[in-house]
Amino acid sequence: MDGSTFAYFLTASILLTLAPGPDILYLLTKSLSDGAKAGIILACGLSSGIIFHTTLVMLGVAALIKSSATAMFLLKVFGAAYLLFLALGAFKSARTDKNFSLKSSGAKVTSAALYKRGVLMNVLNPKVLLFFLAFLPQFVNMSAESPSLTVLFLGVTFAAQALTIFSCVAIFAGRVRNLLLHKKNIGQLLNYVEAAVLTLIALGLIMF
């Protein structure tokens, strides 16, 4: 791959990552609720999901899944069900902890659980799979030697820049969170926002 093609790929990747979407919206909400550290851990999970989808594209599995209406349907159902499960948890937390403050929110979800959540949000989203199936091959010369390795390199590059941008968003949201620490019932409000965001993402996954 020549330098100009890579520069175009990286520029396109950054712009796509910065575009308002479900991942960055949920990341922002979670970082406001639980802090920058939680957001960065979630970002690591989301980026790991990108590597997973890249591997499927590289191995040709993504094309097989796309060709199967049943597989696509099941991915949508499982993905939406998982998101609604998370939304229900956030809603219950808001209802239970009516006097919940941001000062006590850091330990609500373990690091391992947050990382797993980020991975599953991407892995169970067929839209992400279809995106990488369409996006990555545009920058690969299929007649060149080892095109699959080029796909893997591009996928890792996309994941790395996404992790960088997501981490910056998490740090920014964490600083905003510090300004809200003493606001009454802000923790409860953010739990409701988190539940609403997850529900909207789930509905978007099913309907579109």
For the beta carbon of residue 47, count every other beta carbon within 10 angstroms: 24
Q: What is the pLDDT of residue 92?
A: 84
Task: Tell me the two tokens of residue 24.
Answer: 């960055």
Lowest mean pLDDT among 3-7, 12-16, 140-144, 146-150: 140-144
Question: Between the CA of residue 45 and those of 7, 51, 122, 175, what are the distances in Å?
Answer: 26, 10, 8, 21
Res 159 pLDDT > 80: yes
Domain boundaries, the chain: 23-207
**Long-range contacts, 106-109 (Cβ 8 Å, 24+):** 106/34, 106/35, 106/37, 106/38, 108/34, 109/34, 109/38
Residue 100 has pLDDT above 70, yes or no: no
Render pLDDT for 34-80 as a digit per residue (tens, 0 to 9). 899 999 999 999 999 999 999 999 988 888 888 898 988 999 999 99
Question: CB-based burial of residue 160 (10 Å sphere; 0-12 exposed, 13-18 middle, 19+ buried)?
Answer: middle
Q: Tell me, what DSSP letter sits at residue 137?
A: G
